[in-house]
Amino acid sequence: MSSAEPSDGAVPTVTAEMSIPQQLNRRFARVRQSVGALERVLLQGPRTHSARELQALHGLPESLVAKYWRGMGFGGIDHDIAVFTDEDAEAIGELIRLVTDGEIDEDTFVNFARGFGFHTGRLAMWLTEALVDEAKAGGKVSDSQARMLMLERAPEFLGVFERQVVYAFRRQMASYTARAGSEILRSVGESWSDEALPLPRAVAFADLVQFTRLAQSIDGFELADVIKQFEGLCRDIISEGGGRVVKTVGDEMMFLADTPEDGVRIALSITEAVAASPILPAVRVGLTWGNMFSRYGDVFGPRVNLAARLEGIAEPGAVVVDLETAETVDRAFPGGFSRAEEWSVELQGIGLTTVVRLERAAASRIVINR
């Protein structure tokens, strides 16, 4: 028996002495074994139920099962093919019963499923990519080798991941409901309210300048490091400053703050931290203060659109706001920031807008010790 053929039933490693077909077969067997082991742990049992059987045996309407599955982000299902485990049936049934018992309507049911599917899908990708990045950090393995190592190491982290997800959700839910309660109390006695745009927020877009040109001049590993550094730096500053990340789109990050002065302080701290980085290009930020509405983890409204337009005209390293926001910031924190420049510009879809570039005055800088 050769050294490439272990006797303990384990899948042998690929060696340079093997032929190409042998290497492919070994790699396929290794991947299949790792994925199979993960699936057995994650799915907690075999796929034994079809959608039709879920209705017949568990009383779960096929239409709601299909909506749940699509909401989770999974593909279409054949009603007679067994794709569901016992745990699937229990989880799907739990949410469906909220509809059949009259606790929620179907639209809310679909929104719940989409929320769970979207955010846990991104989380699964985030966590597995973190393991891949760690494996590649030494520069001694290829991307495919790093992913193979991730598949083999993932089972040891599953218990920690599950406990952290439950803990993080509870903490985030507590934080969100506390903010919602504060806003209810703050709205009492206000002479003006807008049911369509009920949330007063600072909203900002931070964008790396000339990122497309940079992406064409460096390799994928360097580009990934740029994005990692930018996102990590921004997230740390935003969290430390009391803000919240809404989303990232490539080289752009959108964030919120509950007060106009916090928003500007975060924005300026980001531009300063990025300027001090040896590997990051300059960042520019457009920010506004005003009312907006929130749906599905995102925010919308004219002030959001204005912030995006302002970011597009900002110079590298600059934080720009509209005149109304600048005046609000002045009232909220007199002497905290200074107006370095002011001009008027025609913004597409918005019209003539007075733009103000802000700089730091008495306001402190958010410093992260990394």
Task: Give 16's pLDDT tier (boundaries 50, 70, 90).
Answer: low
DSSP assignment of 122-142 equals HHHHHHHHHHHHHHHTTS-S-
pLDDT of residue 189: 58
What does each C-alpha distance from 189 to 184, 186, 192, 193, 316 come to in angstroms? 10, 8, 9, 10, 42
One-letter amino acid for residue 178 of the chain: A
Of 313, 303, 317, nearest in space to 355 by CA = 313
More confident: 365 or 370: 365
Q: Is the pLDDT of residue 140 over 80?
A: yes
Mean pLDDT of 349-363: 96
What does each C-alpha distance from 312 to 81, 302, 303 come to in angstroms? 50, 16, 14
Q: Is the pLDDT of residue 225 over 80?
A: yes
pLDDT of residue 211: 85
What is the token pair recorded at 213? Answer: 């040109």
CA distance 191 to 120: 41
CA distance 22 to 134: 29
Task: Give 18's pLDDT tier (boundaries 50, 70, 90).
Answer: low
**Is 295 exposed, middle or buried, given 0-12, 13-18 or 19+ CB atoms closer than 10 A?**
exposed
pLDDT of residue 11: 47
CA distance 222 to 205: 24
Task: Give 194's pLDDT tier (boundaries 50, 70, 90).
Answer: low
Of 283, 293, 354, nearest in space to 322 by CA = 354
Task: Give 36's pLDDT tier (boundaries 50, 70, 90).
Answer: confident
Task: Give 184's pLDDT tier (boundaries 50, 70, 90).
Answer: confident
Return the number of other C-beta atoms located less than 10 Å from residue 282's C-beta: 16
The three-class DSSP label of residue 14 is coil
Domain ranges in the chain are 51-164, 194-360
CA distance 47 to 77: 13
pLDDT of residue 2: 41
CA distance 150 to 138: 15
Task: Give 224's pLDDT tier (boundaries 50, 70, 90).
Answer: confident
CA distance 332 to 354: 20
Task: Give 138's pLDDT tier (boundaries 50, 70, 90).
Answer: confident
The three-class DSSP label of residue 104 is coil
Sign of CA dihedral 187, 337, 245, 253: positive
pLDDT of residue 44: 87
Residue 206 carries which DSSP code?
E
Q: Is the pLDDT of residue 161 over 80?
A: yes
For the stretch 230-267, pLDDT in tens is 999 999 999 999 999 999 987 899 999 999 999 999 99
Cα-to-chain-centroid distance, residue 279? 23
pLDDT of residue 21: 76
CA distance 264 to 8: 62
Class of the domain covering 194-360: alpha beta
The model's pTM is 0.77
For the stretch 71-85, pLDDT in tens is 999 987 888 899 999
What is the token pair recorded at 100? Answer: 């059949």
pLDDT of residue 265: 98
Mean pLDDT of 166-182: 92
